[in-house]
Every structure is written in structure tokens, then in C-alpha cells.
Amino acid sequence: MTASSHLRPETEPSPGETISVAEATYLNRDANPVIQILVRAVEQTDDAIMITRADGIIEYVNPGFERITGYRAGEIVGRSPSVLASGMHPPAFYSELWHTIGRGESFRSVFTNRRSSGELYYEEKTISPIRGSDATISHFVATGKDVTARIAAERRLEYLANYDALTGLPNRSLLHDRLTQAIQRAHRQSKAVAVQFVDLDRFKLINDTLGHNIGDRVLIEAASRLRQCLRATDTVARLGGDEFILIQEDVDHPDMVEQVARKVLEAFAPRFLVAPPQGLFVSVSIGLALYPVDGLTPDELLMRADLAMYRAKEAGRNSFRFFEAAMDASAMRTLTLEVAIRGALENGEFAVAYQPIIDTHTQRPVAIEALLRWHSPIHGTVPPDHFIPLLEENGLIVPVSRWALREALRQTRRLQRAGQPGLRLAFNLSSRQFRDVGLLQDVTAALDETDFDPRLLELELTESALMDNPEASAAVLETLRARGIRVAVDDFGTGYSSLAYLMRFPVRTLKIDRSFVHEMERSREAATIVRAITSLARSLGLDVVGEGVENVAQLALLQELGCHHIQGFLFSRPVPAAELARSFPA
């Protein structure tokens, strides 16, 4: 007879029969009431309770055990608990279990068991010995709680903490851990580790134009292609956004790293079929850094691979670059400049210099161009091509240029009153300023504050700034024109202007880029471009200015081609306002 939770008639058990605790209690009506309560508690608890003999054979299971395991009491009593074994624990686990309970101690652990259906479940179990009157172990009692839901939740949280939810790749946290372990192994084995920083080219454009859903599909496909480029022992991780990291171990030579980088570029050559019907072509830029030559820590390697990746982008994208020490020095200088420039305006470190624009017919200035300068007490005089991009990136270009415009208007107004009444001021607007909603208000306030004639102010913009959003640009330029302010296109010929748009913009001046002026002495093509620009300007009724004129030969060529407004070192370098005033003819 097998155990049952149902009470039996009032008969004594036959020899060899197995009865339940409840049955034994019912047969002994004089049992202690406390014992009766304990029996009911065992029968009614949700936890699984199993009692075995000292040799491990099951003698009793409660209804909680039946519910959790799916085995009925009649199926399990008389058998070994190994019927529940999942095969997920090594033999040493069970050896430790029997060793512990055999010496009279309790064993506690989370078991991975298997239900009668074959489904795995997790049970938080305690197995304790039961001693008889002679102090020897006669039985064992195991109490267990089904913690499958809790374990699943913990594993899900662990997964989310270590893996990217979109691509399933290791995230930044797990990447750092794996890179640390790879470095430790490489150190023991005297091997190298390669870190490849992979960034999708122009991914922001995909998100902005096609939406984040298409962007996510691109990232998922990119992750799949990257996985196929590495061995199973290597790691592909998503750092964030459109940035991925590849970790190669057991590197014997840089050629191994280069081969993988080329394999990645080839993997991204086919179109991404994520935006039917034509799909997308997505290229990548890759930066490479090696342990131990380029860094000894994960942070150093990631930073230097990142620097190399930006050099790949600067070189035209869809390429790879190895890290070089010069990149680190350049990056460190950029970082220190970023820190120093934040307080430069408040500390009065900026100044405005001026370069005249000369009419070759009269040899007199018709305008002066205001040029921002930075004299840092730490870094000395910093070139504009170093600090202007920093101002653009951190957003300080707007307040700094707001100050520079007022300063330039004030100083030019002083020159006008000193004998140059028709002198124009040319002032450069960055693309960020041009897009700023407060531009017209800032310019109008500066003009009013300095009592400057708007017709003598010419704002210079690059072609790329104008063509970023032609419709919006046309509206802003028309507002400026209505105020009487002139507009010039700076560095003309280097951008991608459409002549149709150029005719729509209220532009007054084209400034020929200095690169054409510099090359036209030895390049027929450059001379042809300059001739075309001057001819275009005349046909549209525009003024034209030749920039970067450094010698008489360049001056003669420009005059021959019909350009008579000249700017460059041949006449004057950029100088402070006081020095400029002394150079004006009486």
C-alpha cells in the first residue's frame, strides 16, 4: 500500500505497508494534539516535503510535493529521489550532499530538478537528518520551495544588466569584464589582444530620415554581420548607439587584426534589405588598438581605438586606422583646450582682428573682415581652426560670436567716425549661429546698441551652411535682407551649391576660396574655376572677392579674370583695430 493524504479505516497496517503521517496519526487517536497540528501543517503547506529512509528510499511525500513535481505519491514512494534528477548537476554536487547529511548536518542548495512532464524547475531545498532514539540517523527530511519564477526573473535581470536588449550582444558592462579577462589571459600567455572600434557611417541620417524602426533593424543586421567576422572565442559587443566593439584574442601579428578589419568592411558592402524596395548601403569606420603596445587597461584600449576610428572617419569613412601615439597627444591637447575655452569669454581672452578687403582700382579698403582670435594664458595664441570647432561642438559659438559681433560693430563704427564713413564690416556666421532662433534678435540688438548702419554690415556664410536646409535658409536670408543687411557666400566653389538655389538666395557677394587662388598660378583647372565664378557673379549682379592673395602674380591673374576686390597677406595680415586705423590712407 502506498502513502495517501486521505485517511483510511480504523485498521492496523499490515507488515511492510507504507502509510502517510496523517494516517498514522488517525490510527493513534490518543496522539498529542500538537503532533496533530504539525501533521496537518505538513499536509497543507505549499512547500514540497519528502521523507526518506537512511538509504534514500522515499517513504512519504506531501501534497505540496505532488503539486510541484507532478508526481503522485503512489508513483514516487518506494523510489529514489534521483527520479527528479535533471542531469544539470555534476557528480561532485551529490557527493557533497551525501557527505554533509551523512555526518549529521543539513544540506542547503538550489536544485535544478525535472518534473514528471520533463520540464525543468528550480527548487530551494534543505535536507536534514532525523535521528532515532539511539541517536543514529534513521531518516532524512527534505523541504523544498519552487523558486523557478524567481530564478527566471533573476536571470532576466542579469541578462538585461549584461546584454543589449536590441541586438543580444554583450553590453558595455560585460564588454569591460570580457576585455579585462582577455588582457589577463594575454599577459599570462605573452599574446596580444586587439580592440576594434566599429562605428556605422552616417547612422544619424538613417534614423532622422527613415525613423528609429529602420535604424533598429540596421543595428540588428549590423550585429549579425559583425558576429560572422569573428571566431566563437572572440567577442562582439555593442557599446551604445551605433558603436560596436570587437575583441580579438591570441593575436600574434597585426596582420591578423587587419584581416578581420578588411573582412568587416567586406561584410558591410552588400546592401541592407531593411528599407524596401531598394534597401540601404551602410559603411563603417574602424579604429584599431592593440594590447600591450597601445594600452594596458580596457579604458586605455577603448579610448585609443576610438581615436583611431575618428581618424578613419576624417580620412573619408568606410576604412580602418591603427592607433598612433600622435593621435593621443592631439586628443589630449584637444581635451585641455576644451576645458580652457569654457572660461575664455568671461576671462576676456578673446579678441577681434581685422583684415581689409581692397578695391584694386582705388587701392583703398572697401570693407574689413572681423576674425575671432583666442589668446589663452595657458596655451598661448590658439589657431582658429583649433578652437572654432570646439566652440561649435560645445555650443559656446553663439554667446562668443554674439560678443564678437558687438565688439566688431563698435570698433568699425569708431573707424567710420574717424574718416571711413562707408567702410563695411564683414562678419562670419557659423552654421550653428545661422540656425539659432535668436539670430535676428541678436543682430538687431547689436546694430541698435552700436548705432551701426545695417547696410554696411555683411554676414558671411559658407555654402554648406546655406544648403543644409535651403528652404529655411532662404527665409532667414530674406529677413536679413529686409533689414538692409548684406549676405556673402564664403569659400565659394568648395561646397555643393545649386545655382537654382543660389539665384533664389538674396546674396550680394561671392568670396572665391583661397585654395583656388593659391592653385591658379600652376593649375589651368583652378584658373578656369576662378574665371567661371567671376563670370557667374557678373551675370548675377554680385560682387566677387578673391581670398588668400599672397603675391603679385596672384593679384595680376585675378584682375585679368575680372576680380578686383582682393583680400590677403599681400595687402595686410589680420591686425587689431588700432593698428588697422593707422594703415588707412589719409
For residue 2, give the C-alpha cell: 502506498
To 10 degrees, what angle do helices 298-314 and 325-341 make? 90
The CATH fold assigned to 340-583 is TIM Barrel (3.20.20)
One digit per residue, the tens of pLDDT, for the chain of length 586 reads 334 433 333 344 444 444 444 455 444 545 577 777 887 888 888 899 999 999 999 999 999 999 999 999 999 999 999 999 999 999 999 999 999 999 999 999 999 999 999 999 999 999 999 998 888 999 999 999 999 999 988 888 888 888 888 999 999 989 999 999 999 999 888 889 999 999 999 898 888 888 888 999 999 999 999 999 998 889 999 998 899 999 999 888 888 899 999 999 999 999 898 877 778 889 999 999 999 988 899 999 999 899 889 889 888 889 999 988 766 666 666 667 777 888 888 889 999 999 999 999 888 899 999 999 999 888 889 888 888 888 888 888 899 999 999 999 999 999 999 888 999 999 998 888 888 888 889 999 999 999 999 999 999 988 777 777 777 888 888 889 899 999 988 877 665 555 556 667 888 888 888 888 888 888 888 888 888 888 888 888 888 999 999 999 989 988 888 888 999 998 889 999 888 877 666 5
* 106 and 143 Cβ atoms separated by less than 8 Å: no
For residue 217, give the C-alpha cell: 533593424
The pLDDT, as a whole number, for residue 25 is 45
Q: Report the C-alpha gap between 493 and 10 in whole angstroms.
A: 109
Please give the span between the terminal C-alpha atoms of the chain, in angstroms, as a whole number.
127
Bond from prior residue into 292 cis (ω within 30 degrees of 0): yes
Q: Report the C-alpha gap between 566 and 356 in whole angstroms.
A: 9
Integer CA distances (angstroms), 83 to 4, 17, 49, 73, 76, in order: 19, 22, 15, 13, 8
> 45-152 with 340-583: one CATH topology?
no
* 489 and 466 Cβ atoms separated by less than 8 Å: yes
- DSSP sequence for 97-115: HHHHHHTT--EEEEEEEE-
- DSSP sequence for 20-47: -HHHHHHH-TTS-HHHHHHHHHHHH-SS
The gap from C-alpha 29 to its chain's centroid, in whole angstroms, comes to 75
For the chain, give every domain's residue range: 45-152, 163-323, 340-583
Helix (H) / strand (E) containing 5? none
Position 287, amino acid: G
The pLDDT, as a whole number, for residue 178 is 93
Q: Report the C-alpha gap between 228 and 295 in whole angstroms.
A: 27
Q: Report the C-alpha gap between 549 and 150 in whole angstroms.
A: 76
Q: Report the C-alpha gap between 236 and 196 in whole angstroms.
A: 9
Q: Categorise residue 468: left if φ over 0, alpha if ψ from -120 to 50, beta otherwise.
A: alpha
CATH superfamily label, 45-152? PAS domain (3.30.450.20)
The CATH fold assigned to 163-323 is Alpha-Beta Plaits (3.30.70)
Q: What is the pTM of this model?
A: 0.54
Q: Report the C-alpha gap between 238 and 291 in whole angstroms.
A: 20
Residue 454 DSSP symbol: G
Q: Report the C-alpha gap between 569 and 564 in whole angstroms.
A: 16
The pLDDT, as a whole number, for residue 116 is 93
* 260 and 230 Cβ atoms separated by less than 8 Å: yes
pLDDT in tens, 502-538: 667 888 888 888 888 888 888 888 888 888 888 888 8
* 321 and 309 Cβ atoms separated by less than 8 Å: yes
